[in-house]
Structure 1
Amino acid sequence: MAENLSDQYSEESFWEKIKKFGKKAGSKVVYSALLLFYCMKDGNAPVWTKTVIIGALAYFISPIDAIPDLVPIVGYTDDLGALVAALGTVAAYINDDIRQKAKAKLADWFGPDSQDDVADIDDKFSK
């Protein structure tokens, strides 16, 4: 299943999903996805972390979910679960630079107050 999902991942589809559904998914889902995306792009992340990240981002992008994204209120809960599980696995490779890039992009989409909404994610996955 992971191979099938990873075949669905592309940077273009990642940005398309965030642009199209980011507001609906919410700042926590988007911030988690951005942390993973920027970690994957970081030159210090080993190959195995990129594999984990691609699997989680592919699940986020995939229209086939355990809970369909169009279901009101809970539609992105499974996506957040997959993203948070991947964050827990690769947390050691998420540095302050990655956090700053993710927060800057999040602020572009959700406004400067959005960083308050995601503080618990930073607290949970900080070194």
Structure 2
Amino acid sequence: MSEGFSSRFSAEEMAAIRRSLRDEARFGADLMSLLKRVAKRIPFAEDLLAAYFCTRDPATPRRVRLTLLAALGYFVLPIDAIPDIMPIIGFSDDAAVMAAAIAAVAGSITPEHRQKAQDTLAGL
């Protein structure tokens, strides 16, 4: 029997994701703060930022926005399947969640979102 995507998160993790997403400004600040610390160590930093800029775009459909926000929330969330402080493999679960979310909504992340991500990373 196949379980749905949301069943992979515990009730505690889902509550933490919901709390972090309620305050968009704080969520964006948390994401940028974390990226400043780890951007050079993770190969998918540009994808994270492009996904974030996609969620901020008013033209992005709600379903896409929610999918990406859940994946970004998991990245920012301190509770993790594999702790981020573990060298090399620490971000592998985050990368897998992000890759799945991006694959599900790939057509919605535009070249403009990717360019903003590149510009932002260049400024970190």
What is the match of residue 7 of structure 1?
Answer: 19
What displacement does 1:96 show? 1.3
Normalising by structure 2, report the TM-score.
Answer: 0.78
Residue-by-residue CA offset, 1:67-100 (whole Å, 9 max, x unaligned): 1000111101111111111111111111111111
Gaps in structure 1 of 5+ consecutive residues: 110-127
Offset at 1:7?
Answer: 2.0
Identical-pair percentage: 31
- Distance of 2:57 and 2:91 partners within structure 1: 26
Q: How many residues align?
A: 107
8 Å CA contact retained: 1:6, 1:54 = no
Are 2:68 and 1:56 aligned? no
Q: Which of these residues, 24, 28, 33, is aligned with residue 16 of structure 1?
A: 33
**Where do residues 92-107 of structure 1 align in structure 2 (5 Å cutoff)?**
92-107=107-122
Gaps of 5+ in 2: 1-8, 22-26
Alpha-carbon distance in 1 for matches of 2:85, 2:104? 28
2:94 pairs with 1:82: no
SS class of match (1:73) = coil
Inter-partner Cα distance in structure 2 for 1:67 and 1:50: 25
In structure 2, what is the Cα distance between the partners aligned to 1:53 and 1:16?
18
Q: Which portions of structure 1, spanning 4 or more consecutive aligned residues, are displaced by more than 4 angstroms?
A: none
Contact 1:29 1:79 (8 Å CA) reproduced? no
Deviation at 1:58, TM superposition (A): 0.6
**What CA RMSD, in Å, does the superposition of the two structures yield over aligned residues?**
1.6
2: CA distance, partners of 1:39 / 1:106: 16
Task: Give the TM-score taking structure 1 as reference length.
Answer: 0.76
